[in-house]
Amino acid sequence: MRQILILSLCLLSLGLSTDADAKRKKKKRKGPLPAGWVDGEEGQPACYNPPNWDEFNTIDRKMMRSEVMDEMLGQWKGNRSDGVSFSEVTIDKVDTVLLGRPDRVEEVSAENFSLCQAGNRVAWEEWAARLPGKLTAGECNTPFDYTLFDHVNIDTGWQRNRPICKGNKVMIHASIKDLYKIKDDGPWITVAGDPAMPTTGSSDWPCNIEGCMAGILMLRFNGESGQSSIYVVGPELVFTAPEHGSIEYRINDTEFFDNKWRKQGGIVDHASIEISPTR
């Protein structure tokens, strides 16, 4: 009987010890979490907690950004074998954007840590997929800082769509030595258009603002906002982009099947066009 009582007390003591240990393990950490990998809740991956950036000097801070970025993207790539694996396309895009904006690593890594700890992997990866657009919002990586040489095409619509950034100022210049017709029985005209046939106010013509006429060279600006605007070019126009977008050009015509260039001997006219940055 005495032996049974002693055994019961031992088992009770062992049980109490186990419960106490479990409670100690479940006890929440006090104070700030340490920088580096922090273990997640049961069934959740560890999450990388970025450091206190203000503790570093300029050089060390730059090096730490690179280290934090490697750890974060490494987990996204599945290197930790913790069940986390993001799209390669997402990873490549985020990597490219952050390499050009290393200071943004600080805020991105903090958001990444919070989303990792939240435990919703779908929301976490969706956030990562949206990052490139968020980090580059309002930026323009395609300035019109080169010169485009081409020939005006008179048998098609809008042509040579080219990106341009807000504030870019370009000179559009086209040859007025080359002649063409837009009607079999019409006059020979240049990119300056047919002054005998104004199209201002006519909705049947693509160019119907003030100064428009049949056959004239015109420009269309397509803004990121979704708005498009028509400009009369003729022989020359200086254009400044009001927002990020693209530009393209064509002659003002409704049909192209009967258009033709003047031919003299074996030489066929072709009006050149040049678009170049200017101040």
**Residue of 161, 53, 62, 154 lying closest to 102 (CA atoms):** 62
Helices (H), 78-216: 88-100, 105-118, 121-135
Q: What is the pLDDT of residues 150-201, one digit of tens each?
A: 999 999 999 999 999 999 999 999 999 999 999 999 999 999 999 999 999 9
The ranges assigned to domains in the chain are 31-135, 148-277
CATH class held by domain 148-277: mainly beta
pLDDT higher than 50, residue 273? yes
Q: What is the pLDDT of residues 193-229, one digit of tens each?
A: 999 999 999 999 999 999 999 999 999 999 988 899 9
CA 136 to chain centre: 6
How high is the pLDDT of residue 31?
A: 61
Tokens at 183, concatenated: 């009607």
Percent of the chain with pLDDT over 70: 89
Tokens at 166, concatenated: 């807000």
Q: What is the pLDDT of residues 23-76, one digit of tens each?
A: 444 445 556 778 899 998 888 999 999 999 999 999 999 999 999 999 999 999
pLDDT higher than 80, residue 20? no
Beta carbons of 178 and 215 less than 8 angstroms apart? no
Which are the contacts of 31, defined by CB distance < 8 A and separation ≥ 6?
Answer: none
Classify residue 84 by burial, with Cβ atoms within 10 Å: 0-12, 13-18, 19+.
buried
How high is the pLDDT of residue 29?
A: 53
Buried b (16+ CB within 10 A) or exposed e, 19-35: eeeeeeeeeeeeeeeee
Distance between CA atoms of residues 193 and 32, nearest Å: 73
